[in-house]
Copies of this chain bind each other. A is one copy, B any other.
Amino acid sequence: MTFSFTGLSAFPITPMHQDAPDEARFATLITRLVEAKVDSIGALGSTGSYAFLTRGEREKIARLAVSHAGTTPVLVSIGAINLRDTLLLAEDAQKAGAKALLLPPMSYFPLRDEEVFTLYETVSRHVSVPLVVYDTPGTTQFHFSDALMRRICQLPQVRSIKLPSGSPTAEEAAARMKRLLPALPESTSPGISGDPTAAGALMQGARIWFSEWGGLFPRLACQLTDAALAGQKEDVARIEAVFAPFWEMSARYGGSLRVIASAATIMGLAGPGALPRPLQGVSPQDAEKLATLISTHQPG
């Protein structure tokens, strides 16, 4: 069965324990997502610390995700600095049972357009499951032009794109999506990341939300996805108000992972040392604030 790229795709963290993935707690996070009935699970996304893990660790985590996901489709990120490694990771993820692969133009030196095209072309020739173009300029320093994105979407296997809905600004991202959507092939499902502006993008034509906080608060994220796709603006506003202080703290820490990992520790879903070093969690004051927010709203 082909995966349809719609609804909520929840991206769990990969909790660490003494510098290695905490497999038991990761499995629990996957089970929570299945129980919340997310549409798909994105293992080893940016939020899942793919960039910090070895090939062996990534293979193990991909297998764990698939084995605990049941019938929920699992997407796996295959980003790596070296294209050679990306091809190996693609093989591992497919063997593990991934229903789709997310490919960011990860790099050490910001890549050039022709290099990025060749990257996607090479990978698309090597894989048999759908590919998602993972546009994440905040980590890759690469900015897709409209022309390049359209060209990549013509490649075999490319079935979805993950656009940042808040970058460089929400307005510019919305304008870009409006330009790109009519130009994409039928076969490409437009998706977005950027939690605080995701519901707005879903109401403007995006079909799948690749969500960071959805990996920890899947029930709330499912509600937001449903409300946005149904165009229920009041419900959207009400649910966004619950997420807002978490998103605000994420912005303050330069990204969600540090805050989500701290929240997961508070919720007992991750142990101490849940982040890969050198990343650090939030300050004691913010941890207290998070604890209050979590116990008030029970957003999980």
Q: How far is the CA of A112 from the CA of B276 in the complex (A)?
A: 14
Q: How far is the CA of A80 from the CA of B153 in the complex (A)?
A: 32
B119 and A278 contact, CB distance less than 8 A? yes
Closest to A80 in B: B52
Q: Is A297 an interface residue (CB 8 A)?
A: no
Q: How far is the CA of A277 from the CA of B87 in the complex (A)?
A: 11
B277 and A108 contact, CB distance less than 8 A? no
Tell me if A's interface is mostly helix, strand, loop or mixed: loop
Q: Is A182 an interface residue (CB 8 A)?
A: no
From B108, B110, B280, give the contact of A51 (CB < 8 A). Answer: B108
Given contacts A46-B108, A112-B253, A254-B110, contact A51 B81 (CB under 8 A): yes
Q: Is A255 an interface residue (CB 8 A)?
A: yes
B254 and A109 contact, CB distance less than 8 A? yes
Most buried by B among A53, A81, A107: A81
- List residues of A whose CB falls within 8 A of some B CB: 19, 46, 51-53, 81-84, 106-112, 114-116, 118-119, 122, 138-139, 141, 253-255, 257, 276-280
